[in-house]
Amino acid sequence: MSRFVYLIREALSSLRRNALIVIGAIMAVFISLALAFGAQVVNELLKLNTRAWQDGTHVVAFLYDEGTDNVPPGAHEQLLAEVRSWEEVEDARLVTKAEAWQEFQRIFENDPQMLDALRDPTVLPASIRIELEDIRLHQTTRYRLEQQQQVVRRVNTASQSIEQLQNLSDVLQILGLGLAVVLGVAAVVLIANTIQLAIYARREEVAIMKLVGASNWYIRVPFLLEGLIEGLVGAALAVFAVWIASNNLAKAGESLELFRLDISNQWFFRSGLVVLVFGAAAGVLGSLLGLSRYLREADGTGPDIPKGF
């Protein structure tokens, strides 16, 4: 226990002594992770918005009336059951002629002219409203419905723009993930570099430690703790900065009706934890990489004691 306390004390005192290098490492992690986390926030906003626009009906199949046009009674329900069995269909419901009229009346309740114009409510067809698992599958559903010529009068599908938005969102998500990976690697490399600088500045010290019999792990632990603390502090600053920026963005976007700019605190908490863990891991990994050069030659071929005989 006293040994562990000693190693922590060593790490903290080293952080104090090498303040400038430490600040450099923290800034490196902060910038990399703030950019990576920011990219994730933009992605989440895109996802939220595309999801909001996609909610509801994606495909509408207008049907011929039952009992006429060679459509036997019960054909609508039969088709509904079949549609529901298709794997790409999330949900489907039948809107009868009567319900269609009620819907029409609800939509145009403030427009008596429209209501007057529709003299015969029976002209409104029954329909099946379909919600898809993935909006990009609407062509498949359309094709399947069009095969049901006897029952299906016309098929309307979600506009191409939503599909394009979905594609754009996917591309941005991949880009965001790529960016996060690249910036994450950059954070590790920057920490490794910084730790290597710190070790270079203290190479004599490391050599003396080895001389009196300190094991590689004994030398390593304070540096690993340093890296861990630098990574954690940098990541915490990044999460905090992005959270503040996102909150301000949400406030500024309150008046916008078309877009949602507010992300739940729950998402922030979950993703923030991931960023913190990543920051800590990047710190430890960076330290290990930075140290490996100095410690791998512990069998006595390393640059320990100045050579000369």
Partner 1 sequence: MIRLENVTKVYEGGTVAVNDVSLDIQKGEFVFLVGASGSGKSTLIRLMLRDEPVTRGRIWVAGKDITKLPKWKIPYLRRSVGTVFQDYKLLPNKTVFENVAFALEVLGRPRSVIGPQVNQVLELVGLADKSQRYPRQLSGGEQQRVSVARAFVNRPPIMLCDEPTGNLDPKTSVEIMRLLDRINRTGTTIVMATHDHAIVDAMKRRVVALEHGRVIRDEVAGRYERTSEEE
Task: Kindly state whether residue 207 participates in binding partner 1, applying the rule CB under 8 A.
Answer: yes
Q: Is 227 within 8 Å of 195 (Cβ atoms)?
A: yes
Task: Kindly state whether residue 12 participates in binding partner 1, applying the rule CB under 8 A.
Answer: no
Task: Kindly state whether residue 301 participates in binding partner 1, applying the rule CB under 8 A.
Answer: yes
Q: How far is the CB of 294 from partner 1 (least distance, A)?
A: 14
If the CB atoms of residues 146 and 205 are measured against partner 1, the closer one turns out to be 205
Q: How far is the CB of 271 from partner 1 (least distance, A)?
A: 40
Task: Kindly state whether residue 116 participates in binding partner 1, applying the rule CB under 8 A.
Answer: no
If the CB atoms of residues 6 and 269 are measured against partner 1, the closer one turns out to be 6
Mark 58-91 as b/e (b = at least 16 C-beta within 10 Å).
bbbbbbbebeeeebeeebbeebbebbeebebbee
If the CB atoms of residues 138 and 210 are measured against partner 1, the closer one turns out to be 210
> Of these, 3, 106, 117, 161, which contacts partner 1 (CB under 8 A)?
3
**Residues in binding contact with partner 1, number by CB under 8 A:** 27
Q: How far is the CB of 191 from partner 1 (least distance, A)?
A: 23
Task: Kindly state whether residue 304 participates in binding partner 1, applying the rule CB under 8 A.
Answer: yes
Q: Is 192 within 8 Å of 281 (Cβ atoms)?
A: no
Rounded-to-integer distance, Cα 235 and Cα 229, Å: 10
Question: Which tokens in the block code for residue 189?
Answer: 């490399």
Q: What part of residues 270-299 is at the interface with partner 1 (CB under 8 A)?
A: 298-299
Rounded-to-integer distance, Cα 90 and Cα 81, Å: 13
Q: How far is the CB of 309 from partner 1 (least distance, A)?
A: 4
Q: How far is the CB of 40 from partner 1 (least distance, A)?
A: 41
Q: How far is the CB of 201 from partner 1 (least distance, A)?
A: 11
Q: What part of residues 210-229 is at the interface with partner 1 (CB under 8 A)?
A: 210-216, 218
> Of these, 8, 13, 91, 167, which contacts partner 1 (CB under 8 A)?
13
If the CB atoms of residues 163 and 304 are measured against partner 1, the closer one turns out to be 304
Q: What part of residues 166-205 is at the interface with partner 1 (CB under 8 A)?
A: 204-205
Q: How far is the CB of 170 from partner 1 (least distance, A)?
A: 50
Binding-site ranges for partner 1 (CB under 8 A): 2-3, 6, 13, 17, 204-205, 207-216, 218, 298-301, 304-306, 308-309
